[in-house]
Amino acid sequence: MRELSQQELLEIVNRQEESFAVFLYTPFCGTCKVTERMLEIIMTMQPSLPLYKSNINFLPQISREWQVTSVPCIAIFEQGHDKQLIYRMQSVDELYRKLLPLSSK
């Protein structure tokens, strides 16, 4: 997972050339660390998955525009669809099933 700044993230969103997901976190959030570990497991299984991460503390514009209510949050962008915000990360399997369609697009 590559870390993106607010500017880099906005550029990717505005281009909308590919489907992708962004993991939004804060550094001192314990649940965020668990979610990041689950995502690392998924990235081991699917290294080509278009998945990025960003510290929400440095994303004031995105936080407002996307109406992010808490972290951890995974924002999924699929071409031709509205973004989907996921706040509940129950298991690696559940996350894998939600993110897997991104790798085939």
Q: What is the mean pLDDT of the chain?
A: 92
Q: Cα–Cα distance between 16 and 67 in angstroms, integer?
A: 19
* Distance set, CA 9 to CA 57, 59, 78, 91 (Å): 14, 9, 15, 26
Rounded CA-CA distance 35/23 in Å is: 9
pLDDT per position as a tens digit, 41-76: 999 999 999 999 999 999 999 999 999 999 999 999
Span 3-46, pLDDT tens digits? 999 999 999 888 877 889 999 999 999 999 999 999 999 999 99
Bond from prior residue into 72 cis (ω within 30 degrees of 0): yes
The pLDDT confidence band at residue 104, using thresholds 50, 70 and 90, is low
| Secondary structure (3-state) at 73 | strand
